[in-house]
Amino acid sequence: MRRSPRLAALVGALLLGAAAPALTPAAPATAATTLTMRGADVSSLQRSLDLGAKYYTAAGTAADPLDVLKGAGVNYARLRIWNNPASGYNNLAKVLIDAKRVKAKGLALMVDFHYSDTWADPGKQYKPAAWASHGIAALQTDVYNYTYNVCTALKAQGTTPDSVQIGNEINVGMLWNDGKVVNNNFTNLSLLLKAGYNATKACNGGTKVIIHTADADSQANARWFYDGITAKGVAWDITGLSYYCMWHGTLSNLATVITDVRTRYGKPVVLAETAYPFTSANADGEANSVNSTCSGYPATWAGQAANFTAVQNTARGAGAIGVFYWEPTWYAVPGNGWDPANINGTGNQWDNMAVFNWTGQVNPNVVWTP
């Protein structure tokens, strides 16, 4: 998440150009009947706790936020990792600490590789500063070594990731410009994805590799991307999509896209990100990322919960295996800003989208259901 103004659909449409490559249909993935990956991205949580944030149950009792989320049905945590962020958070050292907390609670772990020092999303995929001068050959080695080293460090402390994302919302590639898809040429991107996949499997063969785009809005864009990497021989285990109704359209369309990518590529599907506002107000001086709602779902605690339930029901009905809520614990704690280069001086653009309100009390109506 934390994307620029919505460039994904426009960029994808501009790059479609020629028709997607011919694809031999894969054996359809069996439609799931339950959501086995019921997740929460808690990447900002450690910073909030370090700043003294408090979290409360619906009854007003102070509690560990991971326990509160588990009580609401969460069984999986997602952690982003940046190579060398200026904030000193979401780097390997902090992810190792976070992973211990996650696994100690009995939660499964997903690691979300951005391959950047800052946010990567459909509108920007900045190389880490240490890789800035590297061409595609060196970048393959960078991706392999970095992925393998992170996975091995997690494994060594007994917190082997259950799944990893090779890139975050890589609608038109990653590690731009070398790994960007231009004129329908997926060659460079495929080399990077293969490096990440091979490194993950070399570390632990059972770790599932997710390739994640924000293409839940468009069957055409999803086919363009996943057909493109399939034609280049890229392997992956789970197809990941982002879905925010204010950006990605109707639930009916979401069901169509999930069903199509599940059957077309023969792999399980997970919604790696979703969220909805509980208020249209703003808790701090930083403008909210989301200032709109979707029909039928007001910006209230009841509306937030109803939307999340509807997204889960749609995903389940289309045969997906999981849904992750993005940053449910990131409420407006001063000092936990959105910009890793100015974490103290920026505000929280997500304070109206968390499932904990501005004093840390959980929305009692938000539940993750199998």
- Contact predicate 332/44, CB 8 Å: no
As a whole number of angstroms, the longest Cα–Cα distance in the chain is 57
- Catalytic site includes residue 273: yes
Question: Looking at 41, 98, 169, 215, which residue is catalytic?
Answer: 169
* Nearest residue to 12 via CA among 263, 167, 180, 244: 180
117, 142, 273, 351: the catalytic one is: 273
Whole-angstrom distance, CA of residue 53 vs CA of residue 310: 30
* Three-class HEC string of the chain: CCCCCCCHHHHHHHHHCCCCCCCCCCCCCCCCCCCCEEEEECCCHHHHHHCCCCCECCCCCECCHHHHHHHCCCCEEEEEECCCCCCCCCCHHHHHHHHHHHHHCCCEEEEEECCCCCCCECCECCCCHHHCCCCHHHHHHHHHHHHHHHHHHHHHCCCCCCEEEECCCCCCECCCCCCECECCECHHHHHHHHHHHHHHHHHCCCCEEEEEECCCCCHHHHHHHHHHHHHCCCCCCEEEEECCHHHHCCHHHHHHHHHHHHHHHCCCEEEEEECCCCCCCCCCCCCCCCCCCECCECCCHHHHHHHHHHHHHHHHHCCCCEEEEECCCCCCCCCCCCCHHHCCCCCCCCCCCCCECCCCEECCCCCCCC
The helix-helix angle for 8-16 and 219-231 (nearest 10°) equals 60
209 token code pair: 């590799």
Which of 168, 87, 130 has the alpha carbon at shortest distance from 338? Answer: 87
Question: Any catalytic annotation for residue 169?
Answer: yes
Per the listing, tokens 């999509």 go with 241
Residues serving a catalytic function are 169, 273
